[in-house]
């Protein structure tokens, strides 16, 4: 199906097809004024109206006699009313010649009537002869771009929906035109039930995002706001998680540490850990490493918070934790003498 568009500069109407609009993204050039415009913005109604027949002056039913040149093909044909001169051969009677002449004249008359029948039918149509003035040079020129029909659109209060409906019903290819596809997509998202569904989905997604954030930061929430800890504990029991103290190893410092030998493989470890955060933090594990003179490892031992002080679970905010624990270490027989130690804290 073809569409019609009007040039905004010279009002010339052109016929275009959807494939042309798809290839050029709707841009066309006027063949009359040379203006380049978007054909999709100047569409007119696509109902084709045939061109009104040019009014011709009446034709006289009586046709003048035409003087035709002699035709060689008609030589030997006897016309009605003509006198036939026949050379009478010897031995043929005049009555026989008269009968033959009458028969020939009847055949010629029948043929002449058959040839004159189309001419009479043409004159009986009532078509008036063309006036000489109808071919004057003052007649307005015909419009070039439209070869078959010109459209005179009827006034319409809102032609855009009608044009879109007619275009979609007439040609499935119009669904691929960009501006029609974009308009249909935009109208689809403005429907009330679509907006309600989008609102429900947005609310659900926001709730899921909030729940994910609470799950990942549950330890920090329970430590910063202790009043939320019972609710978080119930939620963790439902989904199968647990609350633990916050672990921030960078906020825990070893303020002081001493290591002394009591004799017979018995040692005493004393250290002071300081919490520099604003939240209560989990007590880290302590790693003790004994070294020899070349600073090689002789014995390495890890002590958990429960081994050092079972009653302490967390480090209070901006507080220090002092611990002194006697240790029993068995040194290898061929080990070098212990001359140094290293203390390190970490979360397992």
CA nearest neighbour of 31 among 52, 43, 15 = 15
Provide the total of helices (H) and of strands (E) in the chain, helices listed first. 8, 13
Sequential pLDDT tens for the chain (348 residues) = 667 888 999 988 888 888 877 888 888 889 888 888 888 888 887 554 444 444 444 444 444 443 444 444 444 444 444 444 444 444 445 555 455 555 545 554 555 555 544 444 444 444 455 444 444 454 444 444 544 444 444 544 455 555 555 555 545 554 456 655 666 677 777 888 989 999 999 999 999 999 999 999 998 898 889 888 889 989 998 888 888 889 999 999 998 888 887 777 788 888 899 999 989 999 999 998 888 888 888 888 888 888 888 888 889 999 998 888 888 777 776 667 778 889 999 998
Which residues is 259 bridged to in the sheet? 269
Give the whole-angstrom CA distance, residue 283 versus residue 271: 13
Exposure string of 54-81, with b = 16+ CB inside 10 Å and e = fewer, is eeeeebeeeeeeeeeeeeeeeeeebeee
Give the whole-angstrom CA distance, residue 218 versus residue 236: 9
The residue ranges of every structural domain in the chain are: 3-51+142-180, 189-244, 249-346
CATH number of 249-346: 2.60.40
């Amino acid at each position: 199906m073809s569409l019609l568009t009007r040039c905004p500069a010279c009002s010339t109407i052109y016929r275009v097809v959807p494939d042309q609009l798809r290839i050029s993204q709707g841009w066309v050039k006027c063949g009359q004024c040379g203006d380049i415009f978007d054909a999709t913005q100047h569409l007119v109604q696509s109902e084709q109206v045939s061109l009104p027949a040019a009014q011709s002056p009446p034709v006289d039913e009586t046709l003048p006699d035409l003087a035709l040149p002699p035709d060689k093909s008609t030589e030997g044909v006897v016309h009605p009313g003509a006198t036939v001169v026949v050379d009478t051969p010897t031995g043929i009677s005049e009555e026989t010649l008269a009968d033959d002449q009458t028969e020939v004249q009847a055949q010629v008359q029948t043929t002449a009537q058959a040839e004159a029948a189309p001419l009479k039918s043409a004159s009986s149509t009532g078509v008036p002869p063309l006036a000489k003035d109808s071919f004057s040079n003052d007649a307005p020129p015909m419009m070039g771009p439209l070869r078959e029909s010109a459209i005179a659109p009827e006034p319409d209060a809102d032609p855009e929906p009608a044009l879109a409906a007619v275009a979609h019903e007439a040609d499935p290819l119009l669904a691929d035109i960009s501006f029609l596809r974009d308009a249909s997509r935009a109208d689809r998202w403005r429907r009330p039930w679509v907006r309600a569904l989008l609102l429900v989905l947005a609310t659900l997604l926001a709730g899921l995002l909030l729940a994910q954030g609470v799950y990942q930061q549950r330890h920090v929430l329970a430590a910063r706001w202790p009043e939320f800890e019972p609710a978080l504990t119930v939620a963790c029991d439902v989904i199968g998680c647990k609350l633990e103290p916050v672990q921030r190893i960078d906020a825990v410092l070893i303020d002081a540490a001493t290591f002394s030998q009591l004799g017979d493989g018995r040692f005493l470890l004393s250290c002071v850990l300081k919490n520099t955060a604003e939240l209560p933090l989990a007590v880290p594990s302590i790693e003790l490493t004994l070294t020899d003179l070349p600073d090689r490892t002789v014995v390495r031992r890890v002590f958990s918070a429960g081994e050092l002080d079972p009653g302490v679970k967390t480090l209070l905010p901006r507080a220090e934790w002092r611990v002194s624990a006697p240790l029993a270490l068995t040194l290898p027989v061929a080990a070098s003498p212990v001359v140094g130690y290293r203390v390190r804290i970490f979360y397992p």
